[in-house]
Amino acid sequence: MAKAVAIMPGGFGTLDEFMEVVALVQTGKVRHKLPIFLFGGDYWGKIAEFEAMVEFGTIDLIDTDLFHIIDSVDEAFDWLNAELLEWALDHPGTGMTA
């Protein structure tokens, strides 16, 4: 039912929940557009570095596009509006309004 997921800085539990959501989107278990953003670039910029996983072939480079790191409420609002508007325009009749 969620239209988007916001992940705030946290510990292992937060990281576990983030990985669960990303895995569900990556594997196609979530079939609708689900924008995921990590709030706080200083924190998540250090935590969410998955380039080594790409190098080892455990994820594809495109998987790093499944989430977006954001630093401000205004940026989050603008990014979410753009993501959800794009989905609504591409999928009329989904209950999402432009």
pTM of the predicted structure, to 2 decimals = 0.81
Total tally of structural domains belonging to the chain: 1
pLDDT at 96 (0 to 100): 52
26 is a domain residue = no
Residue 37 in domain = yes
Q: How many Cα atoms within 13 Å fall on the side-chain side of residue 31?
A: 2
Please, are residues 63 and 27 in contact by the beta-carbon 8 Å criterion? no
Model confidence over 1-22: pLDDT tens digits? 788 999 999 999 999 999 999 9
pLDDT at residue number 88: 67
The verdict on residue 19 lying in a domain is: no
How confident is the model over 22-79, as pLDDT tens digits?
Answer: 999 999 999 888 999 999 999 999 998 899 999 999 999 999 999 999 999 999 999 9
